[in-house]
Amino acid sequence: MIPTKHDLEPCPYGCRRTVLVTITGRGRRLAVDPIPDERGNTAIWRDGPGTWRSRSLAGTDAMPLLSYEDRVMPHVATSPACHPAPPAPALPGLLAFTARPRSTRGRLPHPRRTR
Ligand SMILES: [Zn+2]
């Protein structure tokens, strides 16, 4: 099945081409070029509710292309300027929760028992 114009959206990386945004088996968004390409390593299909899904054909254990799927190229493979954003840096506040040696500075001394 070929995606229609309504299924396409502008490239999220800003190259002004239209792409098909699919959902991978892991629930991630993957932008692919909407025109089937024999060199592609990604299979796309539309599920019952109408969501475009994708899966990789690259692994040795990957199923071959099925009759209802089309072979396409991931958009980042055909548009060199469109790379996914690098992973976000760690949030500064999270360092406070990582394990570190406990400091005794600034603590009150234990009370001494007196008889
Ligand atoms: Zn792009």
Q: Full-prediction pTM beyond 0.85?
A: no
Tell me what the mean pLDDT of segment 65-91 comes to. 87
Tell me what the mean pLDDT of segment 27-54 comes to. 95
Cα separations (Å) of 73 from 5, 44, 87? Answer: 18, 10, 23
CA of 8 to the centre of ligand 1 (A): 12
Q: Tally Cβ neighbours within 10 Å of residue 111.
A: 6
CA of 108 to the centre of ligand 1 (A): 59
User: Does residue 99 have a pLDDT over 60?
Assistant: no
CA of 32 to the centre of ligand 1 (A): 9
CA of 114 to the centre of ligand 1 (A): 76
CA atoms within a 13 Å half-sphere pointing along the CA-CB vector of 95: 4
User: Does residue 96 have a pLDDT over 80?
Assistant: no
Residue 100: predicted pLDDT: 58
Q: Which of 18-27, 78-87, 90-99 has the highest mean pLDDT?
A: 18-27
